[in-house]
Structures are given as C-alpha cells and as structure tokens.
A and B are shown apart, each in its own frame.
Chain A
Amino acid sequence: MKKEKKGSLFDVFVISFLLLSILGASLRWQQLSASPSEERFVECILLTRATGLHTDTALCIAEGDELYTAAGEYYGRITAKEVRALGVRLVEDGALFEGVWEDTWCDVRLGISVRGIQQGDAFLKGGRERLLGGQSLTLYTQRAALALEILDFSVGSA
C-alpha cells in the first residue's frame, strides 16, 4: 500500500519563512530602485552658525569632522570653521548699546558639505529632506553637540 506523504507543520513554517524573506527582499529592492540615483547627487555647502558657544567647546570642533544626527546617521562633513566673538546688545533708557564677549563666549560659523539632489530652486538632502535657510539643525561630531542655524547654502557640481 502506497503511503501518502503529508507536509509537517515544520515544513509549512520553513516555507512561510522563506517566502516572507523573498517578499521582504523584493520590497527592499523596489524601495532602493525607487530612490533617486546616486548619479544625480550633487554636493551642497551649507553655511551654518552655532551661537553662544563657550570658547572651550569651539576647540572641540574641527575642519574635517564628520557630522551625525541624534540617531547616528551620517549627515555631512565640516569643510570650514570660523570663530567670532559673541556680540551682545543691551538696552537702557531706550538706547541700544552693543558689546562683545572677549575670550569666553563666541559664535562659530561652519561650512558643511552634504549630498543631495537639486529640484528647481530646492535642494533635497539625500534626495528626501528639503533644506531651508533659517532652519535649525541639531548635529553631533564625535566630541560635540551643535545647535545650528542654516544661514545660506550653495549647490555645487557632482
């Protein structure tokens, strides 16, 4: 008598696992092929400012430092650094007085190189995130946490 072979529960589990893996891989492939091609990416230099930094903190930032988001994703690289004395304004009896902090507090201007695509006047970092003048960014180097404001950006070539 010929015995009919039946699939065990384990076979069903393994086949489901393999099918789900194939489905997951194909979805990821579709997602990757839908994202903009690397060939269209160009470099953009952001001019940013971190204000009210202690001069010791400014020493922890250097040209060439890589910048990361709080989630640890790579954001860009510092290409230029300029330290300026922090300006302070005081108002007394309706009059405005200006002064600068010497040696203690400062403004740091950073040039940051990022990659993305240009769409008309807009620049999309990584092809997704639109960058705007005046926008606030919180980025990290290995040693420093920076609250930055975008002052300007210029899109270069690939």
Chain B
Amino acid sequence: MKKIQKDDRRLSGVDWLLILLVAILALAALSLWGWSTRREEAILTFEYTVLLENLPLRGEGERQAWDFILTGGEVYNQNGTALLGRVSEYRVVDHKEMRLVDGEARAEVVPDRRDVWIRIRAEGVSKIGDGVRISDVRIAAGMRGDFRLGNYDAKGARVLWVEEVPS
C-alpha cells in the first residue's frame, strides 16, 4: 500500500517537460527585462548649480552662513541617506530685489542680504525618461530641494543648472 502511494508522487515525463517549459519562459522573461532596463542606463559625471537666496548678513565676528559650506565638502540629501556629490566651488554675490526707485520698478541690491551659488560635482545614472538620478534622488534644473551642503543645512535650495561633464 505504501509503495503505491510513493509511485503516485513521482513526477512523470510530462511533468518534467512542463518544468522545463516554465523554466525556459521564466529565464527568457528575466533576461528580456534585464536587457530592457540596462540598455537605456548610463553612468555619468555631471555638475549642477544650486542657489541659496536671500541669506542675511550676520554681525561682525559671527560666522556667515556660507562659512559652513566647504570646497570639497560632501553634499547629502536632508536625511543623509544619499551622497549627492561634492562642492567644487561656491560664490557669494549680492542679493537683488525689485524695488521702486524714482517711480520706476528696478532690480536693486539689498545691502544686508546675499545669494550663494554652489557648483557641485557628482556621479549618477542617466536614464531616458527618468532624467539624472543619484540613488533615488532626481536632480533637474528648475526644481527645489533640501540639501546638506558641507556643514550647512540648505532647505529649499533651487537647482539652477545641470550638465554632463567629462569624468
């Protein structure tokens, strides 16, 4: 009695054929999926510019906001999970606002405010339709983001410009 039950559990030739068919189909699907996702991806070196606007000028002897941004310093996302590149240079410039001067609206320098331009060099993945990404963070000109720039907490910084550069 026990022997008959054991025989019933054995796989027949048809079973093995079906196993082979399913395995071939699964392999074909996996390789097609892998090929289609990989073929459009490219790892590239790129630079992007971030603008910090309207930073108040602090008093004599106090550290300015841009003193916390170091050339060569690491740039992270807000929660520190993705390295978004390194600061290659930064520039402090006058902040301008539209003001009324002699009955005319003009862009005027605000004496106690500054803007900071930061250029960042990074490595990421470029994929058609998905733009440039580092980890799962998309970097695109025109977007705003929260960054950690060296030792400075840059919330709502504006990404101005993105370009691929030779590595």
Contacts and interface: CB of A to CB of B under 8 A. Distances in A.
Given A54-B158, A60-B162, A143-B162, A101 B140 contact: no
A143 B98 contact: no
A: contact size bracket: 35 or more
Contact of A11 (B4, B18, B127): B18
Contacts of A140: 131, 138, 140
A152 to B, nearest CB: 22
B162 A144 contact: yes
How many B residues are at the interface, by size bracket? Answer: 35 or more
Contacts of A53: 142
B130 A72 contact: yes
A93 to B, nearest CB: 10
A142 B8 contact: no
Contact of A90 (B49, B105, B158, B160): B105
B157 to A, nearest CB: 12
B9 A50 contact: no
Nearest to A67: B129
Contacts of A92: 100
A144 B141 contact: yes
A66 B40 CA distance: 15
A89 to B, nearest CB: 8
A94 interface: no
**Best-surrounded residue of A6, A60, A73, A90 (most CB of chain B within 10 A):** A60
Closest 8 CB pairs of A and B: A99-B105, A145-B140, A72-B129, A60-B141, A145-B143, A56-B161, A56-B160, A144-B141
Interface of A: 3, 5-6, 8, 10-11, 14, 17, 50, 53-54, 56-57, 59-60, 66, 68, 72-74, 88-90, 92, 97-99, 101-102, 104, 140-147
10 contacts: A8-B11, A10-B11, A57-B161, A60-B141, A90-B100, A97-B103, A99-B105, A140-B131, A141-B131, A145-B138
Interface of B: 4, 7-9, 11-12, 14-15, 18-19, 22, 49, 51, 96, 98-100, 103-107, 126-132, 138, 140-143, 158, 160-163
Given A3-B7, A104-B96, A140-B131, 12 more contacts: A10-B18, A11-B15, A11-B18, A54-B161, A56-B161, A60-B161, A60-B163, A74-B129, A140-B138, A142-B132, A144-B141, A147-B142
